[in-house]
Structure 1
């Protein structure tokens, strides 16, 4: 007869995918019950630690753990490549944007330099701490990128979680009474651009996952090229630049290059990269639209609107093309 504790364990184990439960459920239940007295089992329940452990195993087994069926292996590959590509774009942006801002502030005279320094000195202690954090913490993307490609997974997880923290400040700032959320769609999508890659990296690059590898090039060379594209796009078209402009242009160049490379290949290509880039393109497209929408009715923002609309169109076309390419490769396999 099934005890109440055993029924509770089996309920929690339903978090696991079916293939894993078929192989391991009975063994896991026996391990959890152990030598507990049968009368005690009717008055007990799984501990919080056990539930958390099973939930983590459920994520790991759905993202390409050893022995997983092909759909789960594909899902894990897509999640890992999505995280790697997004972290690369965010890492380049975290380096390029401060360099450009410092260069502008300290080469345009004393007034511009004083305006920059006032962000850290004229608005109180909390504002100074937040301003410093917004400058320093995003460098965690760069740490995470290189740590991940050198198989330092714990350091990579810490890096992305630290780097994503500033994206929460615009959502939390109204709680201090200092401001209200003026553009909620843009703020939310910008937070998603930081936290979805961070969570994907933490979940998909688990201990059973293969080491992260770039499809082409060395980590330093790819990072430098991404920084060049990101910085050049902001310098050449400063009127259209905003928080998503540089990363989106880096994505456009990378995705277009991969599609051209794929078109020249005669053999089949794994669909994971195309699908991962399509997911990243969709996320960038959402942020781009959210950033652009409030400006559409303002006539004096014609340059910004024109650049934003052009980038939106290119992102949409590339996302569709990547989705089609991924589906074709998936069907061919």
Structure 2
């Protein structure tokens, strides 16, 4: 006769995918029940630790690796590639943006340098701490990127979660201080752009996942190339360079390069790359639109407006192309 505790365990185990339950459910139920007195099973419940363990196992088994059903293998591969590409983009922009800021402040006279320092020194200690954290913590995207590619997964998870923290301050800061509330759409999109990759890295690169690897190129060379593209896009067209311009430009160049590289390959070993890039591109497109939308009713220079609209159009076309190519690759594997 089935006890209430067994029924509860089986209900929790339904978090697991069907293929895993078929293979392991009976064994797991037996293990959970073996040291529980049958007379007390109707008054017992699965512990929070057991539920959390099963939930983590459900996530790992759905973001599977080789040997699991193909849909789960594809989903896991796409999530891991999305996390890797997004962390690379965040890491390169954190370094490029701060390099450009320091270069500008240190080469344009004392006034510019004092203006740069005033962000950390003139608004009191709490504001200085927040400003310092917002400037320093995003550099941990770089640590997370290289840690991930060197299979230091715990370090990578900790680094990206800390790096994403500053994106929450515009949302919670006005509730805790006299900070000016941000534009809600842009603040939300920026937070999603940071936290979705961070959570995807934590979920996708679990202990059973294969080591992370770029589809092509050495990690340091690819990172340097992204930094150069971002910095160059700001230097060459400063009139259009807002907070989204450089990472969006780098994504466009990288996505176009991936499409060209993919067209020369006959195998489909990177089929999930198109889907991962399409999702990342859609996220960047959302940030791009959110950044410019509040200013549409304000007079803008032709150069800025033309650059933003052109970039938005390019991103939309690339996202559509990546989705088509990625979907075709997945269905023909």
Q: The TM-score by the shorter chain falls in which range?
A: over 0.9
Moved more, 65-74 or 176-185: 176-185
Q: Which residue of 1 aligns with 2:286?
A: 286
Query: What TM-score do the two structures reach when normalised by structure 1?
Result: 0.97
Secondary structure of the equivalent of 1:300? coil
Q: Which residue of 1 aligns with 2:272?
A: 272
Q: Which residue of 1 aligns with 2:24?
A: 24
Deviations 1:96-116 (A, max 9, x none): 101111111122222221111
Once the 2 structures are TM-superposed, how far is the Cα of residue 304 of structure 1 from its aligned partner? Answer: 2.4
Unaligned runs of 5+ in 1: none
Distance in 2 (CA, whole Å) between partners of 1:268 and 1:74 is 12
Q: Which residue of 1 aligns with 2:300?
A: 300
Call closer, same or farther: CA 1:300–1:56 in 2, change over 3 Å.
same
Tell me if structure 2 keeps the 8 A contact 1:262–1:269: no
Tell me if structure 2 keeps the 8 A contact 1:295–1:301: no
Tell me if structure 2 keeps the 8 A contact 1:230–1:250: yes
1:321 aligned onto 2:327: no
Q: Which residue of 2 aligns with 1:159?
A: 159
Q: Which residue of 2 aligns with 1:262?
A: 262
Tell me if structure 1 keeps the 8 A contact 2:278–2:319: yes
Distance in 2 (CA, whole Å) between partners of 1:118 and 1:268 is 52
Query: What TM-score do the two structures reach when normalised by structure 2?
Result: 0.97
Once the 2 structures are TM-superposed, how far is the Cα of residue 65 of structure 1 from its aligned partner? Answer: 4.2
Once the 2 structures are TM-superposed, how far is the Cα of residue 267 of structure 1 from its aligned partner? Answer: 4.3
Once the 2 structures are TM-superposed, how far is the Cα of residue 66 of structure 1 from its aligned partner? Answer: 5.4
RMSD across aligned C-alpha pairs, in angstroms?
A: 1.3
Distance in 2 (CA, whole Å) between partners of 1:269 and 1:9 is 39
Once the 2 structures are TM-superposed, how far is the Cα of residue 135 of structure 1 from its aligned partner? Answer: 1.3
Moved more, 61-70 or 25-34: 61-70
Call closer, same or farther: CA 1:228–1:294 in 2, change over 3 Å.
same
Secondary structure of the equivalent of 1:213? coil
- Please give the residue correspondences for 1:148-227 in structure 2 after superposition, counting only pairs within 5 Å: 148-227=148-227
Tell me if structure 1 keeps the 8 A contact 2:81–2:276: yes
Once the 2 structures are TM-superposed, how far is the Cα of residue 50 of structure 1 from its aligned partner? Answer: 0.9
Tell me if structure 2 keeps the 8 A contact 1:93–1:230: yes
Unaligned runs of 5+ in 2: none
Deviations 1:155-177 (A, max 9, x none): 11111111001111101111114
Distance in 2 (CA, whole Å) between partners of 1:172 and 1:32 is 42
Tell me if structure 1 keeps the 8 A contact 2:65–2:77: no
Deviations 1:116-135 (A, max 9, x none): 11111111111100111111
Deviations 1:210-229 (A, max 9, x none): 11111111111111101100
Secondary structure of the equivalent of 1:293? helix
Call closer, same or farther: CA 1:31–1:309 in 2, change over 3 Å.
same
Q: How many residues align?
A: 333
Distance in 2 (CA, whole Å) between partners of 1:190 and 1:107 is 30
1:93 aligned onto 2:73: no
Q: Which residue of 2 aligns with 1:114?
A: 114
